Amino acid sequence: MASSPEWKDRCAQALRKNLPETTVLSNLKYRYTCPSNEGGAYLPQWLWDSCFHAMTYRWFDPEMAWEELLNLLTHQISVGNDKGMIPHMSHLAENRDRVSQELFHQKNASILTQPPLISTAFLSVYRKAPDRSRLSWVYPKLRLYHDWFDRRRDDDKDHLVALIHPWESGWDASQRWDSVMGCPGRDENDLRTLEGKRKNLVSLIREHDCDAEILSKTPGAFYVEASDFNAIRVADLSALAELAEELGYKDEAKEIRHQGALIREAIRQKMVTMKEGSIYFHDLIGREEIKSPIDHGGKFILLFGQCIDKNEAKILINQLVKIEQPYRTKYRIASTNPMDPTFNGDEYWRGNVWLSLNWLVFQGLLKYGEEKEAQHITEESLSLVKNQGFCEFFNPLTGMRGKKHGQPCPQNYGWSTIVLDMLMELEERGISIDT
């Protein structure tokens, strides 16, 4: 049985092992943590990874937590059509990441974004280590980011933002995108084809200046309104409203909350269906907003945005806890329904447990008062790490370390340390976990 101080140590060690080399850090204003140092594939900074890192750091190194987030703003776009956008990968030059530089045709950062969790992360760091002067500097930048979403990604003005690349969802190789990417993803060959297509898609996006409206009408492009992404955005706006209040901007806070309510309503209206006592969730594909039939674990993230009512939440949560349900795997939460014919618990995004996603669902469960279930998810998450290390992802049936194209995934992965935040949040509520 490991206590929370021991978990703090373990998580601190895991994150610190992933600090970039001093030669990289010495060229930066703030420090950051790589997703993983193993194999050299994950050296730049990633947007939502760093949000998770910061929420872990806040429990033992709040200064580092601030730096991790502040550093994300270094390459926020400050001029032109995309003013406000925060790139999903940055610090490419310092890391000499030539492959990404060529792909994005940019020296420093990518041209895509990732799930907006940054206000949420700033708020949770601020709560542990308040710093008004930093917050005053950060707040307008967070607002600009959300304004960018409204301007550039909600071209049909339905309050739901569209993704223009699977990488933006954070669920790169999920079954969710197979049909949009034009390949069924049945076997290893297909998975490699899909990987190639994701790389090629970047040129098409560049050609059209990342314009979602144009891309929505361009053959071969990707245009999806994703349910979990929009739900994460609702939660982020609510965190942004709290930050506004903190600075005394009451009217702005009200406006931001109103915006969140509109998105929530749009999700409820367009992405959720109740039929004969069952509940279904859909990503909307293309400008025609075709309801995707793919059932995936992202639906549980709608709890995080509080996008459904209490009764609907009960029905949804049952899918996670009732013994006979497909998502009630030994280790939760599978990213794809284990009954899906293409489910593969080992292979990258084809049905794995990701502790970053577990955290989002954990927070959602707490918002609906489901402490017991939040506790179970935390116990399972901790036991995965105890048995296999801080793996990038895990198999939900066996609990084993996941694989990408058959090769084991990195075992000291930054965002898997988010288990500490789960453990500590429960501890603050007086719930102790048998770890």
Binding residues for ligand GLC (CB under 6 A):
35, 42, 46, 48-49, 170, 172
Distance, C-alpha 102 to centroid of its chain: 25
Q: How far is the CB of 406 from ligand GLC (least distance, A)?
A: 17
Nearer to ligand GLC, 31 or 83 (CB): 31
Nearer to ligand GLC, 199 or 258 (CB): 199
Q: Do the beta carbons of residue 211 and residue 93 sit within 8 Å?
A: no
Nearer to ligand GLC, 232 or 433 (CB): 232
Q: How far is the CB of 315 from ligand GLC (least distance, A)?
A: 28
Q: How many H-runs (helices) and E-runs (strands) does the chain carry? A: 17, 9
Q: How far is the CB of 172 from ligand GLC (least distance, A)?
A: 4
Nearer to ligand GLC, 177 or 327 (CB): 177
Q: How far is the CB of 168 from ligand GLC (least distance, A)?
A: 10
CA gap 209, 82 in Å, rounded:
9
CA gap 246, 226 in Å, rounded:
30
Q: Kindly provide the residue ranges of all beta strands, DSSP E only, lying in 302-415, ordered along the sequence.
A: 403-404, 407-408
Nearer to ligand GLC, 118 or 433 (CB): 118
- Helices 47-57, 118-128: axis angle to 10 degrees equals 20
Main-chain phi, psi angles of 211, to 5 degrees: -85, 110
Q: For residue 137, how many other CB atoms are within 10 A of its CB?
A: 12
Q: How far is the CB of 253 from ligand GLC (least distance, A)?
A: 30
Q: How far is the CB of 115 from ligand GLC (least distance, A)?
A: 8
Q: For residue 385, how many other CB atoms are within 10 A of its CB?
A: 22
Nearer to ligand GLC, 51 or 313 (CB): 51
Element (H, E) at 287: none
